[in-house]
Amino acid sequence: MNAMTGHRQARPVSPQAQTETLEILSFLEEFSDELEGALDIIAPNAHLRMALHLLQGHFEAKTITPTSLISASRVPYATANRRMKEMIEDGLIEQRPRTKTGKSFSMHPSERLLAQWMQLSGRIRRLAETCFGGETDDQGTRDYYFGGSYAAAKSIPPLRVRKARLKVPGGIRVLVHGDPTFMVMDNLKRQFEQVIGTDISQRAFSIDRLREEALRNAQRETSRYDIIAVDLPWIGEFAEKQVLMPLDEIMDLARLDPADFHTAGWMAAHWGGRAYGVPAQTTPELLFYRRDLFAKAGLEPPATTDALLDAARVLHEPRRGRYGIAWNAARGTALGHTVLMTIADFGQPILDLPENAGGFDTTHLAERTYRATIDTEAGLQAAKFLIELLKYSPPDILSMSWYERVRPYAAGNIAMAYGYTLLAPYFELDESSPACGQTGYLPHPAGPNASPVAPVGGYVMGIPANLPPDRVPAAVEALTVFASPEAQKLYVQNGSRTNPRYSVASDPDVRRASSIFEAVDAMSWRDELQFWPRPPVPEIGGIIQVCGEEFHDMLRGLTSPRDALRKAQSRADALIRTHGTP
């Protein structure tokens, strides 16, 4: 996989050195060695030895052949061959042809064996903790294992291999964004190749280059990619320009279990009532804050914009090298996103959307009857709020964008930062970071008479409209695997902090990985996860750029708030007229 991200490359998240599953497999293998070495009367258990070897190969994405399986049994060839056949007949081993002749097979654990192993490994760990104690003695953690939590019954099994290899010339080709979650997929390349049975090639770009390449690809006679990642605000544009296929034309959507996706993330993948992608990342922008600094200063977590400014003022100590808050303020796309979300914090979308019980209705955007709402009272409140934020921000704030705002937070130089959950690995997985284990997660604090909102960002994975028909079935199958609960759990276990599914957020292993999942799940149930702050209309990219330019001039002191609002409104109106909206 080639991780080319243009001018900036996201730091890949390091996978965990050894997963809990592999630790237990290793323990059982070493324990068997000790028993067989200490007591001559104990013979190797061929069934157990082969099961351990098969499972370890599966989790490490190594090809297991009948020969290697027999060798792992530590019993004579004829005995091992009989035991292997018994496991195949009992439905514990699946064979997948390695060649066209079907005479050579790779060996894989069946769904039954994987399910039985998950139950056994949990019991072994609980038994060890009960008998010998352990480092994890937290009551909340124990509750997950002893049935005290709803999540305990919802553990997601590991990915299993497909019974038949995907047959597609050149393998599956994927275009993605160069962020930590997609880099986790890069790290897991071999495991996914093992699952789907073919090669995977991946190209990764920065956000602006990703959009350019997706649009350029749509102009080609045939697509160079089987699957492409699409930023949520682009859905309307990509649907209108026929960049993506409607998924209901090529697959049964029920296979994806739509009800399992966070509602906002699933609905954001739609245009004109049709799904054009499958949520791969549901990553709301939240307020990260240092719980230890707040406790030391006697501050409560901020629920309002006024409380946020008060906290930023108290925690802003530039002489000591610490600043109150960091945010997206670089000119153009970065600041434009901040403007849209800040206006939403004051209770208004960037378009004149009708209100509904959950905020604002986006279901009729394809009818193209909307207009921009920038030069408004909420817009003025948002502009003044951003000017106030400048007082408690780092001196280079006007050049800070996606990664720059989180890196100093991870380094301990910032007390609060607006950031997408996908960036949390920069401090959650770095034990040297002062923010590691000390970060709280909140939706955006709300302005007067508004409600807290966690604006949904992230990516869906869709299938290009110009993909040759003979490649579509394989693309659908690969897409289903990449977006499955089993795959999403694997991403989390290897460092991702994004998740589009309720079932994954409820998994006890996932909840132990980070408090961020429980926090986001609660926001979803409270209807705080919303995608209306960045409605996915075809003009949204232009509107974001306009706001990012005019508000940047305002923050530099070149124009007044009212002039910035007026200019942005005029340019947005012209954009929408150009694209045909009355």
Full pLDDT tens readout for the chain, 582 residues: 333 333 333 333 333 434 566 777 777 877 887 787 777 788 888 888 888 888 888 777 677 888 888 888 888 888 888 888 888 888 888 887 876 666 778 888 887 787 777 767 766 766 776 676 554 444 333 333 333 333 344 588 888 888 788 989 999 999 999 888 888 888 898 899 989 999 999 999 988 899 999 999 999 999 999 999 999 999 999 999 999 999 999 999 999 999 899 888 899 999 999 999 999 988 999 999 999 999 999 999 999 999 999 999 999 999 999 999 999 999 999 999 999 999 999 999 999 999 987 789 888 899 889 999 999 999 999 999 999 999 999 999 999 998 899 999 999 999 999 999 989 999 999 999 999 999 999 999 999 999 999 999 889 999 999 999 999 999 999 999 999 999 999 999 888 899 899 899 888 888 888 999 989 988 988 889 998 999 999 999 999 999 999 999 999 999 999 999 999 999 999 999 865 544
Beta-carbon neighbour count of residue 77 at 10 Å? 11
235 phi-psi bin (left φ>0, alpha ψ -120 to 50, beta other): alpha
Q: How would CATH label the architecture of 283-456+529-578?
A: 3-Layer(aba) Sandwich (3.40)
Question: With 0-12 CB in 10 A as exposed, 13-18 as middle and 19+ as buried, what is 547?
Answer: buried
This prediction has a pTM of 0.74
- Residue 318's identity, in one-letter code, is P
Give the chain's radius of gyration (CA, Å): 26
Q: Using CA atoms, how far apart are residues 5 and 403, in angstroms rounded to an integer?
A: 13
DSSP 447: -
Q: Using CA atoms, how far apart are residues 21 and 565, in angstroms rounded to an integer?
A: 55
Beta-carbon neighbour count of residue 260 at 10 Å? 16
Do 172 and 473 contact (CB within 8 A), yes or no?
no
Q: Number of C-alpha atoms within 13 angstroms, CB side, residue 485?
A: 21
- Report the SS3 class of residue 346: coil
| H/E run at residue 355 | strand 355-356
Q: What angle do CA 286, 19, 200 make, to 5 degrees?
A: 80
Q: Using CA atoms, how far apart are residues 245 and 3, in angstroms rounded to an integer?
A: 25
Do 15 and 69 contact (CB within 8 A), yes or no?
no
Domain ranges of the chain: 283-456+529-578
Q: Using CA atoms, how far apart are residues 552 and 550, in angstroms rounded to an integer?
A: 5
Identify which of 149, 142, 140 has the alpha carbon closest to the alpha carbon of residue 122: 142
Do 323 and 496 contact (CB within 8 A), yes or no?
no
Strands 414-420 and 200-205: what pairing?
unpaired
What are the tokens at 538? 């075809």
Q: Using CA atoms, how far apart are residues 166 and 5, in angstroms rounded to an integer?
A: 28
